[in-house]
Homo-oligomer: A and B are copies of this chain.
Amino acid sequence: MVQTVSKIYVKEDQIDEFVEVFKGMIEPTKKEKGYIQYEMYQDEENPALLIVLEQWETKEDFDNHMKSEHLGRIAPKMTEFMTKESEFNLCYKIVS
């Protein structure tokens, strides 16, 4: 299983619009091979910071998701709302 953590900083006056665009990712992503988790969280202190947590069965499943038609179509729209490059980490569970 792979876990990803993405911190996305968006324009303060366009948070709702960004979230609406992101919602378009949910249904097609849930149908992908290896999907476990695909969720968006909002930071308590900074509402313009959105955190996406993903889980995939394998790294290959994640890589395929990154090449998916829906991500290719929706990601450019999401980028328009961002104030800087998002922070991305792919990681593996070592203690639970």
B contact residues around A53 at 8 Å (CB): 3, 5, 53
The smallest beta-carbon distance between A85 and chain B, in angstroms, is 15
Do residues A51 and B19 form an inter-chain contact, with CB atoms below 8 A? no
Partner of A39, one of B7, B51, B95: B95
Q: How far is the CA of A65 from the CA of B25 in the complex (A)?
A: 34
Residues of B close to A49: CB separation below 8 A: 89, 91
**Do A92 and B41 have beta carbons less than 8 Å apart?**
yes
A49-B89, A53-B53 in contact; A94/B44 too (CB < 8 A)? no
Give chain B residues whose Cβ lies under 8 Å from the Cβ of A96: 26, 38-40
Q: Which 3 A-B pairs have the closest CB atoms?
A: A41-B91, A40-B95, A39-B96
